[in-house]
Amino acid sequence: MSDPILVQRDDQIVTIILNNPLKRNALTKPAWVKLGDVMEELSRDNDLRCIILRGAGDDAFAAGADISEFPEERSSAAQAKAYGDIVTRTVKAIEECQHPTIAMIKGACTGGGLEIACACDLRIGGESSRYGVPINRLGHTLAYPELDAILRLVSPAVMLELLLEGQVMDAEFAMRVGLINRIVEDWEVEEEARRTADRIAKGAPLAARLHKKMVSRLKKPQELTQAELDEAFSTCDSEDYQNGFRSFMEKKKPVFNAK
H helix or E strand, kind and range, residue 16: strand 13-18
**Do 29 and 86 meet the contact criterion of CB atoms below 8 Å apart?**
yes
> C-alpha dihedral over 51, 55, 56, 59, to 10 degrees?
-150
Does pTM surpass 0.85?
Answer: yes
Residue % of the chain over a pLDDT of 70: 100
pLDDT band at 140 (very low <50, low <70, confident <90, very high): confident
**Do 62 and 87 meet the contact criterion of CB atoms below 8 Å apart?**
no
Walk across the sheet containing 122-126 and list its strands: 5-10, 13-18, 50-55, 101-105, 122-126, 182-184
Asked if pLDDT for residue 2 goes beyond 90, the answer is no
Lowest mean pLDDT among 21-25, 160-164, 240-244, 255-259: 255-259
What integer pLDDT is reported at residue 253 of this predicted model? 83
Question: Where does residue 193 rank: exposed (0-12), middle (13-18), buried (19+ CB within 10 A)?
Answer: buried
What integer pLDDT is reported at residue 252 of this predicted model? 80
Asked if pLDDT for residue 144 goes beyond 60, the answer is yes
Helix axis angle, 112-119 to 144-151, nearest 10° = 50
Walk across the sheet containing 60-62 and list its strands: 60-62, 108-110, 130-132, 168-170
What integer pLDDT is reported at residue 23 of this predicted model? 94
Q: For residues 69-83, give the mean pLDDT.
A: 90
What integer pLDDT is reported at residue 39 of this predicted model? 98
Per-residue DSSP letter, 153: T
Per-residue DSSP letter, 47: T
Q: Could you give the CA distance from residue 227 to residue 229 in angstroms, rounded to a whole number?
A: 5
Q: What is the pLDDT of residues 24-75, one digit of tens each?
A: 999 999 999 999 999 999 999 999 999 999 999 999 999 988 889 888 988 8
Q: Could you give the CA distance from residue 200 to residue 188 in angstroms, rounded to a whole number?
A: 18
**Do 46 and 38 meet the contact criterion of CB atoms below 8 Å apart?**
no
Q: What is the pLDDT of residues 194-233, one digit of tens each?
A: 999 999 999 999 999 999 999 999 988 899 999 999 999 9
Statement: 5-200 belongs to CATH 3.90.226.10: yes
- The full set of domain ranges for the chain reads 5-200, 204-249
Asked if pLDDT for residue 1 goes beyond 60, the answer is no
pLDDT band at 89 (very low <50, low <70, confident <90, very high): very high
